């Protein structure tokens, strides 16, 4: 079945933002939504887009509907700030933020500035997580 839908229009400034999301978003869903909207705006059929972004045609049509209504904000997944799968408690997060606000030397780390490797080691040592 070939689905037919209303055209998707992307303004030039939106095109640039979608390209950035497609290439650099930390969330696969945001990358796929961006790619889908870009392809739809170029006239690629919704069935083809759905296959390429590995989603149902109906889902891609919903993304297009959301795009027409909400524009760039429709790309956001709602996952940002979601701590449901977090391995640290809120208290531990506060402790980590407090530690990051001070030089690592105050935590016994021989470094002038925090880096990911040092932070990961400190968190593993402090909380037993990786």
Say how far apart CA 92 and CA 77 lie, in whole Å. 26
User: What's the pLDDT at 67?
Assistant: 94
Same domain flag for 70 and 95: no
Q: What is the model's pLDDT at position 32? A: 95
The pLDDT assigned to 33 comes to 95
Interval 59-90: pLDDT, tens = 999 999 999 999 988 988 766 556 665 678 88
Q: Do 67 and 97 have their domain in common?
A: no
Residues of the chain with pLDDT under 70: 1-5, 78-86
Where helices occur in the chain by DSSP H, the ranges are: 12-24, 28-41, 46-52, 57-70, 90-100, 116-127
Same domain, 61 and 102: no
Domain range for residue 110? 90-127
Residue 21 placed within a domain: yes
Same domain, 41 and 17: yes
Q: How many Cβ atoms from other residues are within 10 Å of residue 64's Cβ?
A: 22
What is the per-residue pLDDT for 6?
A: 81
| pTM metric for this prediction | 0.60
Q: What is the pLDDT of residue 3?
A: 59
Domain count, the chain: 2
Q: Cα Rg for the chain, rounded, in angstroms?
A: 21
Q: Taking a C-beta distance cutoff of 8 angstroms, is the pair 88, 30 a contact?
A: no
Residue 22 pLDDT: 93
């Amino acid at each position: 079945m070939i689905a037919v839908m209303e055209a998707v229009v992307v303004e030039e400034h939106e095109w640039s933002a979608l390209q950035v999301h497609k290439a650099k978003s930390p969330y696969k869903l945001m990358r796929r939504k961006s790619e889908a909207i870009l392809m739809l705006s170029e006239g690629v059929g919704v069935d083809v887009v759905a296959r390429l972004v590995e989603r149902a045609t109906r889902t891609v049509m919903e993304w297009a509907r959301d795009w027409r209504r909400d524009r760039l904000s429709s790309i956001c997944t709602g996952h940002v700030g979601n701590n449901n799968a977090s391995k640290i408690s809120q208290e531990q997060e506060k402790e980590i933020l407090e530690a990051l606000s001070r030089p690592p030397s105050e935590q016994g780390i021989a470094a002038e500035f925090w880096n990911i490797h040092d932070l990961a080691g400190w968190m593993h040592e402090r909380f037993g997580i990786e």
